[in-house]
Structure 1
Amino acid sequence: MLMRSDILTEADGEAVAVDNPEGAGACLFVCEHASRRMPERADNLGLDADALVSHIAWDPGALDVAKRLSALLDGTLVHQCFSRLVYDCNRPPESLAAMPEKSEIHDIPGNHDLSPAERYARTAAIYVPFHDRISTILAERRTLGRKTVVVTVHSFTPVYMGRQRDVEIGILHDVDSRLADCMLAASAGGAYRVARNEPYGPQDGVTHSLRLHALPHGHLNVMIEVRNDLIRDEGGQRVVADYLAGLLRSSMEMLSSEAS
């Protein structure tokens, strides 16, 4: 059941993908939970088919929304290529949630009793290339004097542990709330129930990518969570992405005018 230290084969391909690398827009979109795909040697972590298509394995609809946002705002998009159950790229290596033994009600047999070598191998094969790619893109943009806004895109379940979630879109931030504040103000009275740091917040460890890439360099940043029943099909993904693009565009314009 346990994965070997050489966890990815040549057939698995790259651990990270980049869309629209030459995008001229300010936004760098990041989708850490884009895929439910398992490496060949993972043996599906001992999970059945129902678990592997559920929210525990990925963020349904998030990549499609991120791709549309990338197109609408001409932004580069970085997304991972394997299930977050193998390695959650929005968690640091020292976090137990990076390779969880349990997710919601599901036990993850293939994540039990991992050796240090196996944990290191997953980190080196999946986490490091993903975040190295983001760091490289950001460094190149800074060298060129390009302003960058870091936007991570996620989805969440309508019901969690038996509890209904009424919020439809979460606007999350860590210590830098500049962009989130503007987006929340712009969303007031709009089409969706939008809330700050819901259904998760920095206290849950979900702002790792923002802390790693945006905060140290002062980049405007935000994490977006969309309830996944709203983006289960192409129509819903299009409507939500169009709405979010409008929020981002107006908020960035507002912050730019204030800074000038």
Structure 2
Amino acid sequence: MSEALQTPRTLLGPEDPEPVGLIDRGDASPFVLICDHAGNAVPKALGGLGLPQAELDRHIGIDIGILGVSERLAEQLGASLVFQRYSRLVVECNRRVTSPDSIALVSDGTIVPANADLAPDQRAERIDEIAAPYHRQIVAILDRRAEAGLPTILVSMHSFTPSLRARPFQRPWQIGLCYANDKRFTIPVLEALGQEAGLVIGSNEPYSVDLVKDYSIPVHGEERGLPYVEFEIRQDLIGETAGQEEWAARLGRVLPAAHRDFTVSAA
């Protein structure tokens, strides 16, 4: 990460990992990939948030399997990838700071002890040192492309649990696409996915984009006017390497096909 993207630190220490993961492949590809929940690191000073590691390893702490898919997909597309190494339980990088669950007190039935009764400066530390550098790096790449006059497709990568503990229900979708007002690129992606045999595809399932609470797609996509797609892949399908390779290969077929249709329709 460049010096311009660094933030003075009072929370993260020398033994803590950098919050921002970056694979910068330049700007030849039309795609830029982002991964808000790639990791489940916790700053050493926060003592694991008062949780056992098994909780941090659950879907509440990390989007299981999605980094492996994202890295392989970015390589296939020749695209850059920006990802977050810290757990969403430390600070939720896909929430506006005004959202009540930007630092969750409870997640899928699990109480997060270290998130209770935070002082304003403690909240600010997490936002300033973890969430803000991640989004600055995304902005840096998108600005660079805009200044060069390069069309950009933003690809947001997520995974979802097959069933929530708090609301048990077996989610049937293997992959879902989440969107808000701008469906320009989502529609051709849905059509391209429909050509893949045997998929159960969710349209704004199991989640949708909330323009008031969410951050990444509303700010980097909708507010910039960039076409985008947000994927949610079911975690039991990508928990192992073979599944990650399979889904990266699938999306590596789908995205270029959708981009060809998108480019033709926009001409």
Once residues 99 and 126 of structure 2 are traced to their aligned partners in structure 1, the CA distance between those partners, rounded to angstroms, is 13
Q: Which one is further off, 146-155 or 19-28? A: 19-28
Cross-structure match for 1:29: 33
Report which of the two has the higher share of helix: 1
In structure 2, give the amino acid aligned to 1:249.
P
Once residues 124 and 86 of structure 2 are traced to their aligned partners in structure 1, the CA distance between those partners, rounded to angstroms, is 16
1:70 maps to 2:77:
no
In structure 2, give the amino acid aligned to 1:65.
V
Cross-structure match for 2:264: 257
Shift of 1:204: 8.7
- Whether contact under 8 Å (2:96, 2:214) holds in the other structure is no
Cross-structure match for 1:125: 129
Once residues 139 and 125 of structure 2 are traced to their aligned partners in structure 1, the CA distance between those partners, rounded to angstroms, is 20
- Whether contact under 8 Å (2:63, 2:160) holds in the other structure is yes
Once residues 15 and 186 of structure 1 are traced to their aligned partners in structure 2, the CA distance between those partners, rounded to angstroms, is 34
TM-score normalized by the length of structure 2: 0.92
User: Which secondary structure state, in structure 2, belongs to the residue aligned with residue 30 of structure 1?
Assistant: strand
**For residues 165-180 of structure 1, what are the structure 2 equivalents within 5 Å?**
165-180=171-186
Q: Which one is further off, 197-206 or 127-136? A: 197-206
Once residues 259 and 56 of structure 1 are traced to their aligned partners in structure 2, the CA distance between those partners, rounded to angstroms, is 39
In structure 2, give the amino acid aligned to 1:172.
C
Once residues 75 and 42 of structure 2 are traced to their aligned partners in structure 1, the CA distance between those partners, rounded to angstroms, is 27
1:104 maps to 2:111:
no
- Whether contact under 8 Å (1:200, 1:206) holds in the other structure is no
Once residues 211 and 148 of structure 1 are traced to their aligned partners in structure 2, the CA distance between those partners, rounded to angstroms, is 15
- Whether contact under 8 Å (2:19, 2:85) holds in the other structure is yes
1:40 maps to 2:6:
no
- Whether contact under 8 Å (1:207, 1:223) holds in the other structure is no
User: Cα gap change, 1:151/1:92 in structure 2, threshold over 3 Å: closer, same or farther?
Assistant: same
Q: 1:147 aligns with which of 134, 145, 151?
A: 151
- Whether contact under 8 Å (2:180, 2:211) holds in the other structure is no
State, as a whole percentage, how many aligned pairs show the same letter: 33
The Cα offsets for residues 71-93 of structure 1, whole Å up to 9 and x where unpaired, read as 11111000011111101111111
- Whether contact under 8 Å (1:20, 1:70) holds in the other structure is no
Once residues 242 and 13 of structure 1 are traced to their aligned partners in structure 2, the CA distance between those partners, rounded to angstroms, is 29
User: Which secondary structure state, in structure 1, belongs to the residue aligned with residue 223 of structure 2?
Assistant: helix
1:195 maps to 2:202:
yes
Shift of 1:205: 6.3
- Whether contact under 8 Å (1:179, 1:220) holds in the other structure is yes
- Whether contact under 8 Å (2:27, 2:145) holds in the other structure is no
The Cα offsets for residues 127-178 of structure 1, whole Å up to 9 and x where unpaired, read as 1111111111111111111111111100001112211100110011111011
Once residues 213 and 74 of structure 2 are traced to their aligned partners in structure 1, the CA distance between those partners, rounded to angstroms, is 22
User: Cα gap change, 1:25/1:80 in structure 2, threshold over 3 Å: closer, same or farther?
Assistant: same
How many equivalent pairs are there? Answer: 256
Q: 1:240 aligns with which of 240, 247, 256?
A: 247
Q: How large is the Cα RMSD of the aligned pairs? A: 1.6
Q: 2:170 aligns with which of 151, 164, 169?
A: 164
Once residues 12 and 50 of structure 2 are traced to their aligned partners in structure 1, the CA distance between those partners, rounded to angstroms, is 17
Cross-structure match for 2:3: none
TM-score normalized by the length of structure 1: 0.94
Once residues 136 and 171 of structure 1 are traced to their aligned partners in structure 2, the CA distance between those partners, rounded to angstroms, is 26
